[in-house]
């Protein structure tokens, strides 16, 4: 019975990118406690990675497909996007990097006026193109297949020509010690360049990113000014934010 459940859980996780305890319990007709035991067992066998409230498919060195990431924590990302957009004043200049959560922020900027948005995320460029009150600047460089991120030395050189008011960045993982983590070296290098060239850095990340494994460090909490998430339930990370004067905005709190 448990082996069959594990196969069903893994198949669903591979399809959606993320599974939750509550949804699995309802689908499979077992208690949440049983699902938690299943997920813990599968995590020990490196089949899944445990996150708050469920699990995701990742080995700790490979990210899930970009299209599948759009469906992971979609409700949380929508709330985060709206909350982060409220932090952006009219008349601001800003960077927006690659990420499905940063795309959720871009989707909430249409009512803003007199913005300059510089982005290496061609999905963001498509969203904001044609808005009369937003000037869109496309970062030049190599377009990465799969997620349409513009990366590489040309992209970093292009970004270095600017000094903007706000950088909106995403991250694939946040360690409770405050390390901001990702999977791709070219993406990390561009994000670090964006952060260096902004007066304020806002990190947008859903709670499922907290405690998730990823091998490359973007930076630490002392390199950002605000964290916008759905809920922050990790006490260690909350203390680290307080220690580094990072403003925490909980969109679903």
In a domain, 62, yes or no: no
Domain holding 10: CATH number? 1.10.10.10
- Both 9 and 116 in a single domain? no
Q: What is the model's pLDDT at position 38?
A: 94
∠137-140-144 over CA atoms, to 5°?
A: 115
Q: Which domain holds residue 199?
A: 68-250
- Both 108 and 33 in a single domain? no
- Both 162 and 209 in a single domain? yes
- Both 47 and 75 in a single domain? no
Q: What is the model's pLDDT at position 68?
A: 67
Nearest to 235 by CA among 215, 214, 252, 211: 211
Domain holding 156: CATH number? 3.40.50.1360
In a domain, 173, yes or no: yes
Structure-token match 């299209």, residue found: 67
Query: Do you know the residue count of the chain?
Result: 253
In a domain, 197, yes or no: yes
Alpha helices in the chain (DSSP H): 2-16, 21-28, 32-44, 66-69, 74-85, 100-106, 122-128, 153-159, 185-196, 235-243
- Both 48 and 87 in a single domain? no
Structural domains of the chain, count: 2
Q: What is the model's pLDDT at position 58?
A: 66
pLDDT of 89-112, one tens digit each? 999 999 999 999 999 999 999 999
82 vs 104: CA distance, rounded Å: 8
Q: Which residues of the chain have pLDDT under 50?
A: none
- Both 153 and 44 in a single domain? no
Cα diameter, the chain: 59
Q: What is the model's pLDDT at position 174?
A: 93
In a domain, 63, yes or no: no
Q: What is the model's pLDDT at position 62?
A: 60
- Both 26 and 78 in a single domain? no
- Both 157 and 246 in a single domain? yes
């Amino acid at each position: 019975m448990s082996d069959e459940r594990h196969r069903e859980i893994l198949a669903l996780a591979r399809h959606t990118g993320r599974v939750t305890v509550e949804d699995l319990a309802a689908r499979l007709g077992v208690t949440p406690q049983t699902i938690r035991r299943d997920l813990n067992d599968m995590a020990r066998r490196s089949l899944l990675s445990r996150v708050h409230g469920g699990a995701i498919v990742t080995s700790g060195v490979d990210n899930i497909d970009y299209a599948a990431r759009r469906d992971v924590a979609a409700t949380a990302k929508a709330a985060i996007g709206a909350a982060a957009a409220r932090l952006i004043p009219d008349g601001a200049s800003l960077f927006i990097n690659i990420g499905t959560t940063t795309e959720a922020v871009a989707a909430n900027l249409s009512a803003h006026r007199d913005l300059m948005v510089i982005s290496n995320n061609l999905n963001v460029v498509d969203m904001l193109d044609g808005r009369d009150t937003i000037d869109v600047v496309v970062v030049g460089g190599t377009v990465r297949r799969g997620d349409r991120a513009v990366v590489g030395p040309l992209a970093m050189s292009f970004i270095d020509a600017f000094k903007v008011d706000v950088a909106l960045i995403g991250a694939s993982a946040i360690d409770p010690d405050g390390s901001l983590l990702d999977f791709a070296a070219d993406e990390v290098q561009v994000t670090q360049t964006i952060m260096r060239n902004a007066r304020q850095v806002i990190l947008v990340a859903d709670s499922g990113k907290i405690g998730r494994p990823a091998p490359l460090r973007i930076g630490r909490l002392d390199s950002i000014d605000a964290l916008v998430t759905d809920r922050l339930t990790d006490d260690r990370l909350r203390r680290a934010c307080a220690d580094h004067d990072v403003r925490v905005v909980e969109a679903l709190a």
